[in-house]
């Protein structure tokens, strides 16, 4: 397991030198944010990002994300040019030594929440999702802006996009994803870049738009599109764990066991109702996901890829990008690393119970 941390570049209030001080932290998850979606990423810009991270004593472990242009998701005739640009971006990333790329196939809207600063009992603030509140929002009137989103769409363009998706069913979206995968994965294989699709967040339809990367059955269908270790998953415990139907440790063991988990987002959520949840501290007792079993599963199938503590609360008076503060994510990183170390040692050494059984057996033998 390679511990990594999300960094949003020079505009991020969390500095690289602070991230470097987190025990066990080696890698950075980042992207180039000033290139319009669909255009090829210049090699020079990639090298510049990598060198900046390297000078801070860290490495560029994952690019998250290379966004997929909406014309590809819609299956428009213009998609081939955007796919060609995407292929060249992968070649450029590989030339700069990047080995993992995370992306998603969510129509129009990326991860979605109903509130960014919900105050918990301990007075920290967190991201929450209330389905009724979200469904009452009108995203076409600027009522939905979240950190990390692409906000380059004007209201008129956004409205046109949503209308176009009115003609797109889930099966259409599957066909368009398949078309994209058939074109992208051979290039990824050729240059040695592992692709990792991020689950839909939340894992159900919003605003009437189709969403398909949501559960075990659909993840299996996705992986069958192209049977290759380079066509893998970004297994996000928080996104998938927002649904009561998803058994996170079991799913992780299954997909990890077949070698298709290329990246892990470790986040805990507390399910508060049907299609409602709040993000909490990483500790198992805080949320609905057993993080011990998550880390145990990673150790069992020998996961050696990048993992990052995902969204955290805003604690100790920290301000900035909601969900992406330094303090709680740093605590999460240390907690996850500690769990992993303890699990690893328990596998390598006889358990206390085994030692006790051996001792009792020897004593009984001596008595006889």
So what's the pLDDT on residue 355?
47
pLDDT tens digits for range 125-147: 999 999 998 888 877 766 665 55
So what's the pLDDT on residue 27?
97
Residues of the domain holding 108:
2-367
So what's the pLDDT on residue 214?
98
| Residue 44 reports pLDDT greater than 80 | yes
Average pLDDT over residues 317-323: 93
pTM here is 0.91
Average pLDDT over residues 240-247: 97
So what's the pLDDT on residue 161?
84
| Under 8 Å between Cβ of 90 and 46 | no
| Residue 192 reports pLDDT greater than 80 | yes
Confidence of residue 363 (pLDDT cuts 50, 70, 90): very low
| Residue 230 reports pLDDT greater than 70 | yes
Residue the block writes with tokens 């058994």: 247
Instruction: Report, as residue numbers or ranges, the catalytic residues.
Output: 198, 236, 265, 310-311, 324
Least confident of 145-159, 187-201, 280-294: 145-159
Average pLDDT over residues 14-36: 96
Supply the CATH number for residue 235's domain: 3.20.20.150
| Residue 103 reports pLDDT greater than 90 | yes
Host H or E run for residue 193? none
Q: b/e for 12-46, b at 16 or more Cβ within 10 A?
A: bebebebbeebeebebbbbbbeeeeebebbeeeeb
Average pLDDT over residues 109-123: 90
So what's the pLDDT on residue 353?
44
DSSP single-letter state for residue 124: -
Cα separation, 101 vs 65, in Å, equals 7
- Give one word for 108, left, alpha or beta, with left for phi > 0 and alpha for psi -120 to 50: left
Helices assigned H by DSSP within the chain? 16-20, 43-55, 70-74, 79-95, 131-136, 155-165, 170-191, 216-224, 237-241, 248-257, 291-300, 326-348, 352-367
DSSP single-letter state for residue 284: G
Confidence of residue 149 (pLDDT cuts 50, 70, 90): low
Average pLDDT over residues 87-116: 94
Confidence of residue 188 (pLDDT cuts 50, 70, 90): very high
Average pLDDT over residues 158-183: 92
Least confident of 66-75, 168-177, 354-363: 354-363
Cα separation, 121 vs 240, in Å, equals 25
Cα separation, 233 vs 90, in Å, equals 17
Which of these, 293, 290, 226, 232, lies nearest to 264 by C-alpha position?
Answer: 232
Average pLDDT over residues 206-211: 90
Domain count, the chain: 1
Residue 66 CB partners (closer than 8 Å, separation 6+): 31, 41, 86, 89, 90, 93, 101, 103
| Residue 366 reports pLDDT greater than 50 | no
| Residue 367 reports pLDDT greater than 80 | no
Confidence of residue 158 (pLDDT cuts 50, 70, 90): confident
| Residue 333 reports pLDDT greater than 80 | yes
């Amino acid at each position: 397991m390679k511990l990594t941390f999300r960094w949003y570049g020079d505009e991020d209030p969390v500095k690289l030198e602070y991230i470097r001080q987190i025990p066990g932290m080696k890698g950075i998850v980042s992207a180039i944010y000033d290139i319009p979606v669909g255009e090829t990423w210049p090699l020079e810009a990639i090298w510049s990002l990598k060198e900046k991270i390297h000078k801070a004593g860290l490495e560029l472990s994952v690019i998250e994300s290379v966004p997929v242009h909406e014309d590809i998701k819609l299956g428009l005739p213009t998609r081939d040019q955007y796919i060609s640009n995407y292929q060249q971006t992968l070649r450029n990333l590989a030339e700069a030594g990047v080995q993992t790329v995370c992306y998603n196939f969510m129509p129009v809207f990326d991860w979605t929440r109903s509130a960014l600063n919900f105050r918990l009992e301990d007075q920290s603030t967190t991201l929450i999702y209330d389905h009724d509140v979200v469904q009452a929002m009108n995203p076409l009137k600027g009522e939905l802006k979240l950190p990390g989103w692409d906000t380059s769409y004007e209201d008129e363009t956004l409205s046109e996009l949503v209308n176009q998706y009115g003609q797109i069913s889930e099966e259409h979206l599957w066909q368009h994803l398949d078309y994209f995968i058939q074109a992208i994965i051979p290039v990824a294989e050729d240059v040695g870049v592992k692709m990792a699709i991020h689950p839909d967040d939340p894992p159900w339809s919003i605003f009437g738009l189709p969403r398909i990367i949501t559960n075990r059955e659909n993840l299996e269908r996705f992986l069958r599109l192209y049977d290759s270790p380079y066509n893998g998953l970004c297994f996000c415990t928080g996104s998938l764990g927002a649904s009561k139907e998803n058994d996170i440790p079991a799913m992780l063991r299954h997909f990890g066991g077949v070698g298709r988990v290329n990246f892990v987002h470790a986040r805990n959520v507390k399910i508060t109702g049907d299609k409602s949840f709040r993000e909490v501290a990483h500790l198992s007792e805080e949320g609905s996901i057993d993080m011990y079993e998550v880390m145990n599963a990673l150790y069992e199938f020998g996961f050696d890829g990048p993992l990052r503590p995902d969204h955290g609360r805003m604690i100790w008076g920290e301000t900035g990008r909601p969900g992406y503060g330094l303090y709680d994510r740093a605590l999460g990183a240390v907690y996850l690393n500690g769990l992993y170390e303890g699990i690893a040692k328990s596998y390598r050494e006889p358990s206390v119970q085994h030692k006790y059984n051996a001792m009792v057996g020897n004593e009984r033998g001596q008595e006889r």
